[in-house]
Amino acid sequence: MDAIQKRRAEEKEQRREAIIDAAEQVFADTGFDRATIDEVARQARVSRALVYLYFKNRDELQLAVGVRALRLLREHFLAAVAAEDSGYDKVAACGHTYLRFAAEHPTYFAALSHFESRPATEALTPTESEMFAAGRAVHEVMIAALETGIADGSLRSDIDDLWLTSLSLWAFTHGLIQLGRTKARFMSELDVATDTFFDYAIDMAMRGLQPPKPAPGA
């Protein structure tokens, strides 16, 4: 690739990122369901046709924001596991990190929720492939933490499918966040603080990963 081609490729990528920036802002302001391509084009100060040149529809833009969300979440996971020693603490840190991530980046969590609820397609678009790759990278951080815990004895040794375990932990934590948002008033009436609920639930899930305690007298 010569200098001119390289510059054009960089400019094309910069325009794509600028459109995603605009979409992210529009989604934050109006919500994913009400946002339109016209609003994204106005926010990005480009033509509607140019947006469609990069993204075939609003769903593709939502996925692009989701890719950003997963890549940032992976960075947060990496920082969280690096700060802990045992595999048990690394896995627990990922759960608490996802809870904080959702609170600090509500638009990103909404993008991930949109992706989790959308029906599967037979043929993946390039953006869907990016999303799956970014999601795999997040799970690989969790799987490495699980492997550490099995090796150091802080997690049970009979965890035989790390991918299923990681996916289950993801589903559990994602559901916690959604429940904390939709049932906050109900929990308030029960005099249960949302943070207390989150901490209790994560601790309960982690107890299921601990090695069994020796029987009395063993």
Calculated CA dihedral for residues 51, 57, 58, 62, nearest 10 degrees: -90
Enter the DSSP assignment of 193: -
When computed from its CA atoms, the radius of gyration of the chain, rounded to whole angstroms, is 21
Task: Give the residue among 167, 175, 163, 164 at the shortest CA–CA distance from 202.
Answer: 175
Q: Is the pLDDT of residue 218 over 60?
A: no
CATH number of 58-207: 1.10.357.10
Predicted confidence at residue 68, as pLDDT, reads 96
For the chain, domain boundaries: 1-55, 58-207
Rounded to two decimals, the pTM is 0.90
Band (36; pLDDT cuts 50, 70, 90)? very high
- Alpha-carbon distance 118 to 33, whole Å? 13
Band (216; pLDDT cuts 50, 70, 90)? low
The DSSP annotation for 19-33 comes to HHHHHHHHHHHH-TT
Q: Is the pLDDT of residue 8 over 80?
A: no
Tokens of 90: 């690394």
Predicted confidence at residue 70, as pLDDT, reads 97
Per-residue pLDDT tens digits for 132-187: 999 999 999 999 999 999 999 999 999 999 999 999 999 999 999 999 888 888 98
Region at 22 (left for phi over 0; alpha for psi -120 to 50; beta for the rest): alpha
Q: pLDDT above 90 covers what percent of the chain? A: 76
Please identify which residue in the block is written with the tokens 């033509």. Answer: 47
Fold of the domain built from segment(s) 1-55: Arc Repressor Mutant, subunit A (1.10.10)
Q: pLDDT above 70 covers what percent of the chain? A: 97
Per-residue pLDDT tens digits for 104-128: 999 999 999 988 877 766 778 888 8
List the beta strands (DSSP E) in 56-143: none
* Residue 13 near residue 64, CB atoms below 8 Å: no
Mean pLDDT for 11-31 is 93
